Structure formats: C-alpha cells, structure tokens
C-alpha cells in the first residue's frame, strides 16, 4: 500500500519534472507584492533575457528547417515538372535543331538495338530556350501528317465512350450498393472489389476470350465494352454514396420523393466532386492505355490509339515527335486544370474510411 503511494508520488514528480512545471515557489506572493515596479523588473530580468534567447533560437531553427523543407520541396517539384516542361519547350524547336541535338539518341536506338547501342562521342545538351521559337512542328503535325490526327481521333473515340459509359453505369450500381445492403449484395460488392484489384494481366485474358466469341476482336468495341463495365469507379463511388447521411434520404422520402428523384437530386449532386474526380482519373487512365490495344486490337493497327503509336516514331519523324507528344498531353492537362480542386478533394476523400 505504502509502496503504491510512494510510486504515485514519484510518478507525479517525474511528470512535473518532464513538463518543466514548478509548483513550489521559494518565495511567497507577498514578497513580490512588496516590491516596486522597477524592483520587480530587475528581479525578473535574467528570466526575461533567457526566455527571449530561447524564443529567438526557436525562431531561427524554425526558419532554417522551413528553408530546408522548402528546398527539398522545390527540388522534388522541379524533378516532377522538368520532363513535362522540356517536352513542351522542345516542341517549339525547328526540326533541324532537334535532329542536331537529339539525333544521336535516335541513331543509336534505331541502328543498334540488337548489338546494343554504340557510343557516338557526343551527348545531347538540354536546351531550355530554343534558338528560334517556331511553330513549324505543329504546322507539320497538323497539316502534313494525317496519321497523327487519325490516331488522336482514335484515342478520343475510345476514351470518351468508355468514360461516359462507365460513369453512368457505376453511378447507378454504386447507388444500389450504397442503399441496399444485404448479405448477398455485400458478397457481390466484394467480388467487384477483387475484380477491380486484378491487374490487366489477368483480366485481359477473359476480355480477349469474350471478344473472340462475340466476334468484336480488332474493333474498338473490344476495348470499349470491357472498359464500360470495369468496376473501378463503382468501388470508389460506393464509398462516397455510403457517406451520404441517412437523414437526407429519409427527409426526401417524407417529402414524397421517388427513389429516382432521390438518386438524381440527392445522391448524384452530393457526389459531384467524386464523380468529377473519377472522370478525370478514368480519362487519364484510358488516355494512357497500352495493354488493351496491344492485345485486343493487335491486327487493327489503323484503329490503335495514339498512346501506342507515339513510341513507334522513327528517326525520320523526330522533327515532329515533340509536338506530337505535347499535343497528346494537352487534353489531360487541360482537364486537370479545369477540375483540379475536385480531383484533390475526390482523391482525399477516397482514402478516408
């Protein structure tokens, strides 16, 4: 018993020491009250100086740390943005300057793939500002080489139906999953999640099989249809719709709203940020697709999207390669600029349980 008390006492002392709290003054209050203002100032001078110094050192360390943090953040940001930046800048070079600069790279890539590249005694220099800013690349790209435009069009024609279709279907399905929670539905939902987690390497095989059965192989439908029914959006949207407070839905019901009205006027508007964020994410993902066209449209090279085609640029076309790359990254970047807030909010809330 005594031991315990002793222990408690010691513990309290230790805590106070740790917090640097001093409860016992040597002098009592009357001592301070008896002093005049000046005396008091004099008495506390040392303490004041000390606390000032502490404050100053703290401030300095904080500034130093913030500065270091800023440096790191800036370095990382530069690293993140430099490749994009250069692609854009280089797209304003004349093709002569480009082949002068980067020709070495593509010669070594084109010529000696089997033997391994050879050293050509020259490395390209990264140039920030082109010698002469020119839009010739873009002109060439847009007017002289229809292949690129066709590929760009192919990309659009694949991505837009997939994104629109998948969003429409997943809104409906996730509303159902969010509102009707029975055991069998939860099992189905779980299987949707597993399906979502499957990498392309697994899902491409069934997609290929069914495309072959339906005789849509080597047509855009072979990519569009599985894309529309992909479960990625359902998984995230269901998470959101489950966050809608039940009170809203009950209130709407009391007011005599039908389920369809609840869906279109409560559930969808409340998930607006998520829907926009998902639209952006899906757009980027499918704008970026490489695996699906390679497998599902292997024999229809004309219909393949730009994402596959861009890497097949050969030495002769290097003059417009940068412009083509820039053109290809403009739609997603525009969409990003338009919906960045929603995207950030959407991503943020998707991680929260």
Inter-residue contact 331 to 287 (CB < 8 Å): yes
**CA-CA distance, 283 to 4, in Å (whole number)?**
66
Which range in 29-37, 39-47, 139-147, 343-351 contacts other proteins by CB under 8 A? Answer: 343-351
What DSSP state is assigned to residue 161? H
Q: Which of 31, 32, 44, 336 binds other proteins (CB under 8 A)?
A: 336
Q: Which residues in the 17-56 window bind other proteins by CB under 8 A? A: 18-19
Q: Which of 221, 229, 315, 317 binds other proteins (CB under 8 A)?
A: 229
Tokens for 63?
């500034």
Q: Which of 25, 123, 144, 183 binds other proteins (CB under 8 A)?
A: 123
Q: Which residues in the 156-215 window bind other proteins by CB under 8 A? A: 169-170, 172-173, 175-177, 179-180, 185, 188, 191-192, 194-195, 197-210
The site for other proteins, by CB under 8 A, has a size of: 111
Residues shown for the chain: 353
**CA-CA distance, 220 to 196, in Å (whole number)?**
22
Interface with other proteins includes 100 (CB under 8 A)?
no
Inter-residue contact 220 to 165 (CB < 8 Å): no
Q: Which is nearer to other proteins, 39 or 57 (CB)?
A: 57
**CA-CA distance, 293 to 310, in Å (whole number)?**
13
Interface with other proteins includes 321 (CB under 8 A)?
yes
Q: Which is nearer to other proteins, 30 or 311 (CB)?
A: 311
Q: Which is nearer to other proteins, 19 or 24 (CB)?
A: 19
Which ranges of the chain would DSSP assign to H, the alpha helix?
2-19, 29-34, 37-90, 95-111, 136-139, 146-179, 183-197, 200-213, 221-228, 232-241, 246-254, 259-262, 268-270, 272-287, 291-296, 306-309, 318-351
Which range in 28-36, 45-53, 134-142, 290-298 contacts other proteins by CB under 8 A? Answer: 290-298
Which range in 35-43, 44-52, 226-234, 268-276 contacts other proteins by CB under 8 A? Answer: 226-234
**CA-CA distance, 198 to 212, in Å (whole number)?**
21
Interface with other proteins includes 298 (CB under 8 A)?
yes
Which range in 3-11, 49-57, 69-77, 140-148 contacts other proteins by CB under 8 A? Answer: 69-77
Q: Which is nearer to other proteins, 219 or 350 (CB)?
A: 350
Interface with other proteins includes 243 (CB under 8 A)?
no
Interface with other proteins includes 284 (CB under 8 A)?
yes
Nearest Cα residue to 156 out of 297, 330, 306: 306
Which range in 4-12, 34-42, 47-55, 308-316 contacts other proteins by CB under 8 A? Answer: 308-316
Q: What is the CA radius of gyration of the chain?
A: 32
């Amino acid at each position: 018993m005594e031991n315990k008390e002793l222990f408690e006492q010691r513990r309290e002392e230790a805590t106070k020491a740790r917090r640097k709290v001093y409860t016992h003054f040597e002098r009592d209050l009357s001592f301070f009250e008896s002093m005049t203002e000046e005396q008091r100032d004099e008495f506390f001078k040392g303490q004041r100086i000390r606390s000032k110094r502490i404050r100053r050192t703290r401030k300095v360390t904080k500034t130093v740390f913030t500065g270091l943090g800023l440096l790191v953040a800036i370095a990382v940001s530069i690293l993140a943005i430099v490749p994009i930046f250069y692609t854009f800048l280089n797209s304003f070079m004349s093709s002569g300057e480009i082949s002068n600069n980067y020709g070495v790279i593509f010669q070594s890539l084109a010529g000696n793939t089997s033997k391994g590249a050879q050293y050509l005694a020259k490395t390209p220099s990264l140039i920030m500002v082109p010698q002469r800013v020119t839009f010739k690349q873009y002109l060439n790209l847009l007017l002289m080489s229809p292949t690129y435009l066709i590929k760009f069009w192919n990309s659009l024609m694949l991505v837009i139906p997939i994104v629109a279709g998948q969003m429409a279907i997943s809104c409906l399905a996730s509303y159902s999953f969010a509102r009707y929670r029975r055991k069998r539905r939860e099992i189905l939902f779980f299987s949707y999640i597993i399906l979502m987690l499957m990498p392309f390497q697994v899902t491409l095989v069934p997609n290929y099989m069914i495309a072959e059965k339906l005789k849509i192989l080597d047509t855009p439908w072979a990519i569009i249809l599985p894309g529309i029914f992909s479960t990625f959006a359902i998984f995230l949207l269901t998470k959101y719709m489950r966050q809608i407070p039940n009170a809203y839905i009950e209130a709407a019901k009391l007011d005599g709203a039908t389920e369809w009205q609840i869906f279109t006027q409560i559930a969808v508007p409340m998930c607006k940020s998520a829907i926009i964020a998902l639209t952006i994410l899906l757009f980027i993902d499918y704008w970026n697709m490489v695996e699906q066209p390679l497998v599902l449209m292997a024999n229809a090279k004309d219909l393949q999207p730009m994402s596959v085609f861009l890497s097949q640029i050969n030495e002769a076309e290097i003059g417009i390669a940068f412009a083509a790359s820039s053109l290809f990254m403009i739609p997603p970047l525009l969409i990003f600029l338009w919906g960045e807030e929603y995207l950030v909010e959407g991503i943020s809330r998707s991680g929260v349980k």
